[in-house]
């Protein structure tokens, strides 16, 4: 399994509806946070190793109504 973080910029007034859609409809969404800065949300997704990350973001995240832009961060190793 692998983790990716996706920063999400929402259309004005859509942050809560986008966050709810991620939590309710994307089973791989592990955490969804509202954040300050250039993006409105940051979400952690836990996906299997054979998942095409580009396709996952393109088809499962960017298609949610109210999302304006995304920035994906791929992880290498978790230090616990």
**CA–CA gap between residue 65 and residue 63 (Å, rounded):** 6
Q: Look over the chain and give the mean of its residue pLDDT values, rounded to a whole number.
A: 97
Taking CA 74 as the corner, what is the angle to CA 63 and CA 39, rounded to the nearest 5 degrees? 55
Q: Which domains does the chain have, with CATH numbers?
A: 2-74 (3.30.70.920)
Q: Is the pLDDT of residue 78 over 90?
A: no
**pLDDT per residue over 17-30, tens digit each?**
999 999 999 999 99
pTM (2 d.p.) = 0.93
Give the three-state DSSP class for 57. Answer: helix
Q: Is the pLDDT of residue 80 over 90?
A: no
């Amino acid at each position: 399994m692998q983790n990716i973080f996706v920063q999400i910029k929402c259309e004005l007034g859509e942050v809560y509806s986008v966050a709810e859609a991620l939590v309710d409809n994307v089973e791989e969404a592990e955490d969804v946070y509202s954040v300050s800065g250039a993006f409105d949300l940051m979400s952690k997704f836990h996906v299997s190793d054979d998942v095409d990350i580009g396709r996952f973001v393109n088809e499962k995240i960017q298609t949610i109504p109210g999302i304006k832009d995304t920035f994906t961060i791929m992880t290498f190793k978790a230090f616990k």
